[in-house]
Amino acid sequence: MKSVLLLAAENAALKGAKVGGMADVIGDLPAALEQVDIAASVLMPGYGFLASRHGAALVAEFTVPFRDGHWSMRLSILPHPKAQSARIYLIDGPSLDAAPSALYHQSSPLRPFADDADRFALFGAAAATALCNGLVPMPDVLHLHDWHLGAFALLRAFDPRYLALRDTPAVLTVHNLALQGTRPLAQESSSLAAWFPALFASLDGAQLALLADRRYGGCINPLRAAINLVDRVHLVSPHYCEEVLLPSRPEAGFIGGESLELDLARHRDRGTLVGILNGCNYDNDGAEGQSGRPTTSELVRTIKRTLIRVQAHRREVAAVDFIAAARLPELFDNEQAFVISSVGRLTAQKVQILRQRRGSGETVLEALLAQLRDWRPDARLIMLGSGDEGIGREFQAIAALQDNFLFINHYDEALSEALYLRGDLFLMPSSFEPCGISQMLAMRAGQPCLVHAVGGLVDTVSHGHNGWSFQGETPLAQGEALLARLAELLPLVGSDTWRRVAANAVASRFDWPAQARQYANKLYS
């Protein structure tokens, strides 16, 4: 079998190691690749708890050159729970610890990415050391994921201590181009000069030009470094792979290359830029969406369990949880309630369109809720997600005033699954979407989607066939288009057209085995 090593920050195959969609890819990909004769192991941080939680065996203790000294690290190993041919390697040491499901640190706004950039620079050095010392077997292909492995790509390309890595091809998957990990080149404790002082002193102007951030002078851009220093770059959907070749125009509501479009265009011109859609797992009998739909009462009980569970170690109940709990009885007074569901990270990427203010002063979200109320008194919007605190407070205030909006400011796997199964229409108004998994999970459960026609949403949701979409020339125009599309859809609920689209949604397939064959042919060949 060809061997591939996935180096990443997240992994849904391990409980507590998931934050976003990258984790789902890393969790599912080894089993899919095994079916096309590729053994794909994973190397990732242990975060101080994964090794003990999952019974990983300690195999080595080693030191890593970092900053002005040598840092002690530990390497543990465990079988991959989904792929017999794969292993999961965990690296632990100082500065890598994190809480379960909270793998990233929230740095000061004045020092964005500072804490995480430190941690992943150390992880990159530790991963390079472990490979060159033979502690982790050298694969046929090194597969890096997102900006977190920028330091690894830099060391592989320029540090003479890691010459052995250059004999192995390296590819990069970009899950989200907007997150780039930018930090100063020097004169800061979280900087390239601080992490690798000898290497920094040896870099010439041409080498520094490959690492420098195009928007912020005197800074290193780890994602740009990885893009420029690997052999091939992969974007997680074909449509997103086209979008990132164009410059972003936020005023027009378009998020494209985010200053990296010229670097990506060079890969395109060399034939080393690849767009492959992420996959989704399906039951072999194709019965998704046909059974297991929870009743409204069962959904209410699941929401209650979530709201109670998050209070376990708190001294006070958060206002947003109090509002949600108080709304439950009035929200679900009948089993036929029409539910628009939304599950995802609370970020500008996911909900900025809903926050746009119309000429009347109300937000698109408030107008949507008014639209639902005028249509049917039992129509509800349930939103599950956590992330940006400012957005959370904004939506909390709306939930306090709008009795048909239930906002649950948390991430909960069981509740998200219940919403996929119980919802009647899934709302995904992302300003940009590299691939998206939520729409696939909703469709798999038999719930058609209403999405913004961008990125991977274009590749998965076909307007009028297995869901519906909207577009606009500005963020506000996109919000107005969303409202107009919803006004067209609500009268169709329960019709033959609605049932046909829902049936097509559950029949749609974006299975991992098909995507794994593309990985083998386009990315690893």
What is the structure's pLDDT at 232? 98
Report which of 418, 423, 424, 417 is spatially closest to residue 498, judged by C-alpha positions.
Answer: 424
Q: How confident is the model at residue 41 (pLDDT cuts 50, 70, 90)?
A: very high
Average pLDDT over all residues of the chain: 94
Q: Is the pLDDT of residue 288 over 60?
A: no
Q: Which residues 6+ apart lie within 8 Å of 239 measured at CB?
A: 275, 454, 455, 456, 458, 459
Q: Is the pLDDT of residue 142 over 70?
A: yes
CA dist., res. 120 & res. 149, Å (int):
7
Q: Is the pLDDT of residue 290 over 60?
A: no
SS3 state at 17: coil
Amino acid type, 94: P
CB neighbours (10 Å) of residue 369? 23
Q: Out of 148-152, 274-278, 286-290, 453-457, which region has the weakest mean confidence (pLDDT)?
A: 286-290
Q: How confident is the model at residue 283 (pLDDT cuts 50, 70, 90)?
A: confident
Q: Out of 26-40, 89-103, 324-338, 439-453, which region has the weakest mean confidence (pLDDT)?
A: 324-338
Q: Could you say which DSSP state residue 406 is in?
A: E
Q: Could you say which DSSP state residue 360 is in?
A: T
- The residue assigned the tokens 């409202």 is 483
Q: How confident is the model at residue 20 (pLDDT cuts 50, 70, 90)?
A: confident
Mean pLDDT over 407-427 rounds to 94
What is the structure's pLDDT at 52? 96
SS3 state at 320: helix
Q: For 167-185, how does the pLDDT look when each residue is reduced to its tens digit (9 = 90+)?
A: 999 999 999 999 999 999 9
Contact by Cβ (8 Å): 25, 102: no
| Dihedral angle computed from the Cα positions of residues 344, 345, 348 and 353, in that order, rounded to the nearest 10 degrees | 10
Q: Is the pLDDT of residue 435 over 90?
A: yes
Task: Give the rounded percent of residues in the chain with a pLDDT score beyond 70.
Answer: 98
What is the structure's pLDDT at 287? 47
What is the structure's pLDDT at 293? 85
Q: How confident is the model at residue 374 (pLDDT cuts 50, 70, 90)?
A: very high
- The residue assigned the tokens 């109320």 is 373
Q: At what angle do helices 261-270 and 222-229 cross, to 10 degrees?
A: 10
SS3 state at 286: coil
Here the tokens at position 137 are 């077997």
In a 10 Å sphere around its CB, with 0-12 CB exposed, 13-18 middle and 19+ buried, how is residue 2 labelled? middle
Separation in Å, CA 20 to CA 101, 220, 257, 366 = 10, 24, 21, 27
Beta-carbon-side half-sphere exposure of residue 232 (alpha carbons within 13 Å): 20
What is the structure's pLDDT at 284? 62
Mean pLDDT over 305-310 rounds to 93
CA dist., res. 460 & res. 406, Å (int):
27
- The residue assigned the tokens 């209650």 is 304
Report which secondary-structure segment, H or E, holds 487: helix 475-489
Report which secondary-structure segment, H or E, holds 69: strand 69-79
Q: Is the pLDDT of residue 95 over 70?
A: yes
Amino acid type, 332: F
CB neighbours (10 Å) of residue 266? 13
Q: For 448-490, how does the pLDDT look when each residue is reduced to its tens digit (9 = 90+)?
A: 999 999 999 999 999 999 999 999 999 999 999 999 999 999 9
Amino acid type, 96: L
Label residue 5 left, alpha or beta by phi (over 0 means left) and psi (-120 to 50 means alpha).
Answer: beta
In whole angstroms, what separates CA 32 from the centre of its chain? 19
Separation in Å, CA 227 to CA 210, 240, 265 = 9, 16, 11
In whole angstroms, what separates CA 39 from the centre of its chain? 24
Report which of 294, 248, 237, 241 is spatially closest to residue 267, judged by C-alpha positions.
Answer: 241
Q: For 227-254, how does the pLDDT look when each residue is reduced to its tens digit (9 = 90+)?
A: 999 999 999 999 999 999 999 999 888 9
- The residue assigned the tokens 């500065």 is 95
The order of strands in the sheet holding 379-384 is 405-408, 379-384, 338-343, 425-428, 449-452, 467-470
Q: For 113-127, how does the pLDDT look when each residue is reduced to its tens digit (9 = 90+)?
A: 999 999 999 999 999
Separation in Å, CA 100 to CA 16, 18, 46, 51 = 5, 8, 10, 12
Alpha helices in 258-318, H assignment, sequence order: 261-270, 296-309
Domains contained in the chain, CATH given? 2-279+513-523 (3.40.50.2000), 296-509 (3.40.50.2000)
CA dist., res. 371 & res. 282, Å (int):
35
Beta-carbon-side half-sphere exposure of residue 63 (alpha carbons within 13 Å): 6
Here the tokens at position 205 are 């102007």
Instruction: Transcribe 107-144 into DSSP letters.
Output: --TTSTTHHHHHHHHHHHHHHHHHHHTTSS---SEEEE
CA dist., res. 467 & res. 460, Å (int):
9
CA dist., res. 404 & res. 317, Å (int):
22
Give per-residue burial for 429-467: e unless 16+ CB within 10 Å, then b. Answer: bbbbbbbbbbbbbbbbbbbbbbbbbbbbbbbbbebeebb
Q: Out of 148-157, 288-297, 377-386, 456-465, which region has the weakest mean confidence (pLDDT)?
A: 288-297
Contact by Cβ (8 Å): 480, 452: no
Q: How confident is the model at residue 152 (pLDDT cuts 50, 70, 90)?
A: very high
**What is the bridge-based pairing of β-strands 273-275 and 183-184?**
unpaired
Q: Is the pLDDT of residue 384 over 80?
A: yes
- The residue assigned the tokens 């250059």 is 166
CA dist., res. 267 & res. 235, Å (int):
12
Q: How confident is the model at residue 289 (pLDDT cuts 50, 70, 90)?
A: low
Q: Is the pLDDT of residue 150 over 60?
A: yes
In a 10 Å sphere around its CB, with 0-12 CB exposed, 13-18 middle and 19+ buried, how is residue 334 labelled? exposed
